Amino acid sequence: MIRETVATIDGLEVIALDSASQIELGDRRRLVIAASNGGRESGRAAVLAGCAAVVFNDAGIGKDRAGVSGLDLVDAEGIAGMAVAHTSAEISDGLGTWRTGVLSTVNSTAAALGIRPGMPVREAVAIVAAARKEAS
C-alpha cells in the first residue's frame, strides 16, 4: 500500500495514498492525493479526517454526478477538492497523480483559489499551500 509524504510546501504536508479508504484522522490539515474515485465515501473520509484539501483520481470523474459527489461533500465543508480523470496505469495511484496528474474537475472552494481544470496537480497544490500560509 502506498502512503508517502511527497512534499511539504509552505508548511502543508502533501501525502499520496492508494485509496481514500486510507485517509486517517492523523491526516488533519494535510493535502491528500488519493487514487480512488471522487464518490461519496471518498468525500466523507476526507471530511471526517479534516483534510486541508484533496485530489481524487479516477477514470469516472466528471462523467456523472456520482463521480463528483465527494467533491460536493468536501466543498460544503470549505475543503478544496480536485480530481484527475486518469486514462492509463501511469497515473492510477496517488504517486502517479502527484507526478504527472492534470486536473479535470474542481469544486467551487478550489475554483475560488484560482485552481482550474487543465492545471497540473503540483501547481494546484502550490496554490492551496500559499493560500493556507496567507490565511494563517
Closest CA to 91 of 13, 22, 33: 33
All 3 cell numbers of residue 32? 491528500
Distance of alpha carbon 5 from alpha carbon 110, whole angstroms: 22
Place of cell 504527472: 100
pLDDT of 15 = 97
All 3 cell numbers of residue 108? 467551487
pLDDT of 79 = 96
Q: Where are the alpha helices (DSSP H) in the chain?
A: 40-49, 65-76, 94-100, 108-112, 121-135
Domain edges within the chain: 3-135
- Its pTM stands at 0.90
Please list the residues that pair with 80 across neighbouring strands.
Answer: 53
pLDDT tens track, the chain, 136 positions? 889 999 999 999 999 998 888 999 999 999 999 877 778 888 999 999 999 999 998 766 656 666 678 899 999 999 999 998 866 556 778 898 999 999 988 999 999 999 999 999 999 999 999 998 888 7
pLDDT of 8 = 96
pLDDT of 59 = 60
All 3 cell numbers of residue 102? 492534470
